[in-house]
Structure 1
Amino acid sequence: MPIAFDELYRLKKTDKFTLEYLSKWIDFYVVPRSGANYYLTNEDLKQSMISEVTGSDRLISFNFSYKGTRNNPVSVSFDKNKYYERFVSLNRTETSKYFAQGILTDFGFFFRGFLNLKEEQLFELDFDQGSERLIDRNEDKISCKLILKDKKNKIIADFYFEFEGFKSLKRLKTDWYAESSGELNFFMANRMRGVNDGDVTSLLERTIARWVTMVKMGIIRDDINTNI
């Protein structure tokens, strides 16, 4: 079980953060002027206490006392962005339905459906529109910065997240389709009017810039044809 940093950082609750609790993740030791570090034993810890515990973006800080003697404040490195990143997981079932390059431009619209959010009743996820979206075309991955907010719209954390599991472009051979449309049928009927039977390739090539835009194209996704 991870440390309850959210209670300390966001809710400012320190009741749980006793010396006994922190000792599950932190080794307490004394740095002597000479010789090896002395790690406090269970008996030593019974004669120790901590107070004024706080959590910040990069640190967990507290005051440490041993046998009633208060020492200098202690700080332990702790990256709150990495901690909150654990609240977010990838929904590979959803990413597997799309081509990474096909949704890159409108990724801000799609990204939320690709994610599972722990404690959804407490947090919201946003996409940093100003951040750079990086695409790995070889691995079919997209990475971008996400912002985790509380329900009052206060930013709690931000971190880069990697979206993977998208369709390979090789799938276009089977997933891409093109078919005629009513507009194209009307255009061809007028274009072919009065044309004798035979090869009309050259006639169509001269007007391809016009009629190709009338072709109905799309991607087959879960047996649903999605127009593009």
Structure 2
Amino acid sequence: MRKTILLLSVSLLLSCSKDKELIDLKLDNDVKDNVDVASLVDPTENELRKYFDIEITQDIDKAANNILTIRETKKIESKELSIEEAIIETKDVDKGIITIKVSGKFGKKNFSKKQYTFFDFAQKPYDSYMANRAYMRWKPQFEGNPAQLTDIDFDTFYRLKKSDLLTIEELSKWVDLYSSNPNANIYKYTAEDLKNTKIIEARYKGEAFNFRIKYKNETSKDISLNFNKNEYYKKKVVLDKEEIKKYYVQGVHQEFSGFFGNLVKISDDFNLELMYDNANLNKSGNSISCHFSLSTKTDEKLAEFEYLFTGFKPLSDLSEELVIKTTNELDQYMQRSLLKTPDGDVAEKVKRSLQHWIKMTQIGVIRKDDVINTLGSDLVIRLPNNQLALKLYLKSISLGNYSVDALVPLSTRVLHQDILLINPYFQVNSAVKKEGKLIVEVELYNVNEESLNNVKRQIEIRL
């Protein structure tokens, strides 16, 4: 009896196992069939809209351009879609419809000349709406600052008053023209629409162009298009980068009214005037900002704007340009001071009197320009290799509401006044007395409230 029950149990288990295998096999086959079927269907209209990037646009011209140009393989709904050919059969602007025939491959299936129709593009308004509801927008690449980014010849239009300069063909390089239906659907003028459009009036008022256009036989209301003439005329003042890098910022700021005209390039058609008679120095940025007024030669004001001067010579250039020489006065002073001091290291003794004797040195800054060659020996230091340095002297100058000591050029030429070394701090690194000479290494470590590195000079003093 027990054997019989055991045999029946084993038989039942084997039977269930076989049934499960049959069921699993059937399910696997069904899945494979479904996968094969799914991979062998044509793309839907919505899938093609995604491929051509037209699923949300109402611009029929943009959609048509995408259909004719986009060809790369894209992954749409987990399958790869590639288009080999797309032909536009009809493009009905009035109804907002495009019909195309497309060939390509979607997943594992090739399809050929399959027809699709795309609806819901903005329908073209009636002619009266095309004009009366027209407005303009800068193209996306220009809208941030059209006055700076476009090539519109605003000066000829505004200063020379040639209003016929701006045609719709010219303006369409930078501007898109739109209209709308009463249902508020936006419609963008097509190339064909622009052929039937012309500007009949163009003015500039209130930081904007004001246009009136004519579409076919319909005339628009005033159409405003923002344009900042101050930003436009700012382009007429071009920073001379090669010239500005010849000068140090501190002195230029101090004598800015005499300098700025040499640091910019500007047409002879304009006068450039410094407003508020001041400029702002940014030491950390090594720059100067100011406000300019630009006017015609007949003093008609055109614009005013803030302008930034950058690219000045850094103070670190003093490591190559600073000159420190001994003088007869310094030689005699050190002779008396070290008369009974034996040869050797005398740094500590020389350091104690640094603030006194440094004023006896001849300090200069190397300069290369056409003017320095015309100056006499009382104003320049002549160096080997035909180099010349402007002689400096210590002077008390006004800086805001207080006075400071500064090294300034003996030359009074305006273009030499950029050299302005306010409150220079020196230190003695070494001093050795040897065989009738005193060899001192001096370092300029701070000037114009800026720390310097490696601005060191060796002075040979005759004892």
Query: When the two structures are superposed, what TM-score results if normalisation uses the length of structure 2?
Result: 0.42
1:226 pairs, out of 390, 413, 431, with 390
How far does residue 169 in structure 1 lie from its aligned partner after superposition? 1.6
Q: Which amino acid aligns with 1:226?
A: L
Structure 2: which amino acid aligns with 1:36?
N
Q: Which protein is bigger by CA-based radius of gyration? A: 2
Secondary structure of residue in 1 paired with 2:163: coil
The within-5 A match list for 1:29-48 is: 29-48=178-197
TM-aligned CA deviation for residue 55 of structure 1: 2.0
1:171 is matched with which residue?
317
Deviates more, 1:104-113 or 1:57-66: 57-66
Stretches (4+) displaced over 6 A: 191-196
Residue in 1 aligned with 2:155?
6
User: Deviation per CA, 1:125-161, whole angstroms, max 9, x where unpaired?
Assistant: 22224354232x2332222222222212322222222
Matched, 1:154 2:286: no
1:40-79 map, 5 Å: 40-56=189-205, 58-79=207-228
SS, match of residue 317 in structure 2: helix
Shift of 1:195: 7.7
Is 1:123 the counterpart of 2:270 in the alignment?
yes
For residues 61 and 50 of structure 1, what CA distance do their matches in structure 2 show? 10
Does structure 1 conserve the Cα–Cα contact (< 8 Å) formed by 2:257 and 2:277? Answer: no
Three-state SS of the structure 2 residue aligned to 1:104 is helix
Identity %: 31
TM-fit CA distance, 1:109: 1.1
Q: Normalized per residue, which structure has more strand?
A: 2
The structure-2 alpha-carbon separation of the partners of 1:27 and 1:13, relative to structure 1 and needing over 3 Å to count, comes to: same
8 Å Cα contact 1:56/1:80 also seen in 2: no
**Counterparts in 2 of 1:163 and 1:198: CA distance versus 1, 3 Å:** farther
Change in Cα spacing, 1:27 to 1:207, as seen in structure 2 (3 Å) is closer
Q: Distance in 1 between matches of 2:354 and 2:151?
A: 67
Specify every segment of 5 or more residues in structure 2 that has no aligned partner in the other structure, as ranges. Answer: 1-149, 342-348, 369-386, 392-407, 409-463
Q: CA RMSD in A?
A: 3.0
Q: Does the 8 A contact of 2:240 with 2:263 survive in 1?
A: yes
- In structure 2, the partner of 1:91 is 240
CA 1:226 to 1:124, structure 2 compared with 1: closer, same or farther past 3 Å? farther
The alpha-carbon distance between structure 1 residues 187 and 82, as it changes in their structure 2 partners (threshold 3 A), is: same
The equivalent residue for 1:198 is: 340
Q: How far did residue 206 of structure 1 move? A: 9.9
Higher RCO (C-alpha 8 Å, min separation 6): 1
Deviations 1:9-35 (A, max 9, x none): 111111222222222221111033324
Q: Of the candidates 139, 143, 147, which is equivalent to residue 289 of structure 2?
A: 143
Opposite residue 134 of structure 1, the aligned amino acid is L
Q: Tell me the equivalent position of 2:253.
A: 104
Question: Equivalents in 2 of 1:39, 1:111: separation in Å?
Answer: 47
Stretch of structure 1 that moved more, 4-13 or 60-69: 60-69
- CA pair 103-213 structure 1, distance change in 2 beyond 3 A: farther
| Structure 1: stretches of 5+ with no match in the other structure | none
